[in-house]
Structure 1
């Protein structure tokens, strides 16, 4: 019997602790949940990039990113677009489900891009001006001719119009500005439909350039004012096409040609998760880090500030690389461990002060089971002083017996036995006030030995 009583008392004791600690644990869990939800949410498993026309190098680059991200079980959805300007508009439109895009420098003029951030410069997209004739060294000399400036929504068109405007050539004037680019512009140039083709990035492929060089009467504009352009337009760089770089056997070109070129940036919304930012830059290093006709190995990607601010996460990555966890563990596991460590911050901040309150809450809970009977005892005692009749006294004694029986069935921790016995003495005191000797209950108390 004693063993059962001890077991029940111990069980009741732990229930008191559970009820005391439970609300505090629930509060900590809620606080941690809110912290994680708003401060460090889990990285999404799907991203969407707006790339470029289906046959463009932008599309090829985006698909390479997709292949690399898939190694870490991240699905990159690649959307076709009209080009850099279209990409930028999609990023700025909150209704569009786009997370990042490839954007050529120079297309953001007049747009509020403060809500966007760059993960760095990825590659060059040079401006190549082909024209019928010879001896032209300045864009202003092309006034009055038919010029292919690129299709609507493309970075080529934005860049061409901007450079021509700086040279006094604008739409609506004597110069015909036609919406052609790429192979269509090159074909129009060779068959005489246009006099000038302004090609940019995708539209200036090595194969197409070689085909144009084979055509008699067509030349490449040598930007002798390249230094002036890079000063006037901070997003431009000077690139030299050295003799033989296109074809060593035929020595094409046969002299150094100076070009100007914006860079293409990988631009994202501010909501991009830091862990995914690292993965994207890592993918960009694999895709763009090698040397080619226009760049040296290791030149790209880089965090040089152009039109868009470089994100803090990108700056950290370029400076110190991936964090320890992401270097040593698989991406999914590193993400879990990283977020778990973040959990510990609010847990430690909230849990330690909360645990100091537990003993006080526990004591209040245990003592409250004793104190609630004092109100009933006071009521019976006052009724005894009000000249109660014998019948009323008998009813009060019955109530007192019920109270005493309930008290004796209470389960009290040993540490609070003093308060329990004081309560029983007060019951006897009220019984004496009612004119009856102290009652010896049949039921033993449940205070543990």
Structure 2
């Protein structure tokens, strides 16, 4: 096809139809819009949008569960009562907290590490993962995370007899070191081993705790009682301080312990802490302390993480003998990594939605925003591609016919035989019939008539070529 030929030529001076050219019905089905092309164009955008929404739904956090389970500690223990307060706070926000009693830190950890237990939270004394014989590798790698420390957990050691300065001097004595399964017992055993004190015939280690340990010490059936913040109630400590021949052990090597065991910290019992009038104890005494952390599974919903850290602030932030006001909760983690959600909360607090809305409404709104933002940011701008896609689909029909027309013209020019001309005429008739059956939007009528004019032009040019050939023959 001659690219320099004017397509308007045949309209002003149309060539006569060849005698061999069939009379074809000239016409097309013009419509206001091609619904098929529009449906396909819009359909592609709908599919793309559905994929985007599916990806967002897969990535977005589901709604926070309405029920959580916490493994707290022995009934009526300090952290059992703390868990009851958590339960009240979460209930105000529509979340039910189930409180399970346990023998202590070890059982809490085992429950958290076992998905079949369905325990979401637990109070865990820091430092236990440094004891290989106590915590298994599976527990260390079970996907647990810390929501922060919620309390100091100082160790108070009362003993009978003359002043002692080192734990190694307790060798050969009767020691009340806490119940089986408690974190305190494991920490005490770790410290005693570091001082060469092992259970044997000379050194007895008894599973006594709290008031039982105090009574045994007062009765003389044990020589040393290791107490923690949960079991060393102020009344019991004052009672022992007032008893002649019973002393509060001072960790004169506290700094060495802290450097040897990074999960430990130095804790000072102030002079007069138990009785200001009688100045008991009569001097400041150094001891060592661990912390208690709120441990959760790494699947904990971010909204619930915020709610729990907020509840921890309400429960544990008060001043006491063990801590300053506002000291806890704190973003301090030892055995397990600090949760990213908890770290964000400690740094910037609750998000705007959770500050101004009820918990359930803020959670719903947050999820809707996460779902709708991709729709507005990605899908709505993508709609501008619908008109070009629609135009391309309509014009592609013309492009396809032009390709056929060029191929037919070249086939005859390369081989102007009678057989090739007959084949050309048959195929060109088929092209023209197919063209006249197209449904064309009125907006593309000019392309339609230009293509039909070019079909006529090619027919006339090949017809003229055949006439010249016949004349030459």
TM-score if structure 2 supplies the norm length?
0.73
RMSD: 4.0
User: What is the distance in 2 between the residues matched to 1:322 and 1:29?
Assistant: 32
1:60 alignment partner in structure 2: 81
User: What is the distance in 2 between the residues matched to 1:18 and 1:54?
Assistant: 67
- Indicate how the Cα distance of structure 1 residues 308 and 405 shifts in structure 2: closer, same or farther if over 3 A, else same: closer
User: What is the distance in 1 between the residues matched to 2:253 and 2:435?
Assistant: 105
User: What is the distance in 2 between the residues matched to 1:287 and 1:350?
Assistant: 44
User: What is the distance in 2 between the residues matched to 1:277 and 1:372?
Assistant: 61
Query: Which of 140, 144, 158 is 1:116 aligned to?
Result: 144
2:262 alignment partner in structure 1: 234
Alpha-carbon deviation of 1:93?
Answer: 2.7
| Gap regions ≥5 residues in structure 2 | 1-30, 403-418, 424-428, 458-473
2:390 maps to 1:362: yes
Larger deviation, residues 290-299 vs 226-235: 226-235
Alpha-carbon deviation of 1:287?
Answer: 1.3
Alpha-carbon deviation of 1:359?
Answer: 2.7
Alpha-carbon deviation of 1:426?
Answer: 11
TM-score if structure 1 supplies the norm length?
0.77
Q: Map residues 397-416 of structure 1 onto 2, 5 A cutoff.
A: 412-416=440-444
Larger deviation, residues 238-247 vs 82-91: 238-247
User: What is the distance in 2 between the residues matched to 1:199 and 1:326?
Assistant: 41
2:38 alignment partner in structure 1: 17
**Any conservation in 2 of the 1:103–1:265 contact (CA below 8 Å)?**
yes
2:364 maps to 1:343: no
2:298 alignment partner in structure 1: 270
SS in 2 for 1:202: coil
Q: Map residues 33-112 of structure 1 onto 2, 5 A cutoff.
A: 33-109=54-130, 110=132, 111=135, 112=137
Encode CA deviations 1:276-309: one digit per residue, 9 max, x unaligned.
2222221111111121112111111122343333
Encode CA deviations 1:208-261: one digit per residue, 9 max, x unaligned.
323434555433222222222222222222222223322345543333232211
| Gap regions ≥5 residues in structure 1 | 1-8, 375-381, 387-396, 430-449
- Indicate how the Cα distance of structure 1 residues 193 and 14 shifts in structure 2: closer, same or farther if over 3 A, else same: farther
Aligned length: 415
2:232 maps to 1:204: yes
SS in 1 for 2:116: coil
User: What is the distance in 2 between the residues matched to 1:268 and 1:199?
Assistant: 27
1:307 alignment partner in structure 2: 335
Encode CA deviations 1:344-383: one digit per residue, 9 max, x unaligned.
5544664367435423443455568999999xxxxxxx9x
**Any conservation in 2 of the 1:140–1:168 contact (CA below 8 Å)?**
yes
1:139 alignment partner in structure 2: 167
User: What is the distance in 2 between the residues matched to 1:45 and 1:361?
Assistant: 47
**Any conservation in 1 of the 2:60–2:370 contact (CA below 8 Å)?**
no
User: What is the distance in 1 between the residues matched to 2:448 and 2:34?
Assistant: 15
Query: Which of 211, 225, 228 is 1:183 aligned to?
Result: 211
**Any conservation in 2 of the 1:50–1:80 contact (CA below 8 Å)?**
yes
- Indicate how the Cα distance of structure 1 residues 26 and 77 shifts in structure 2: closer, same or farther if over 3 A, else same: farther
Higher-RCO chain (CA-CA 8 Å, sequence separation at least 6): 2
SS in 1 for 2:379: helix
**Any conservation in 2 of the 1:40–1:342 contact (CA below 8 Å)?**
no
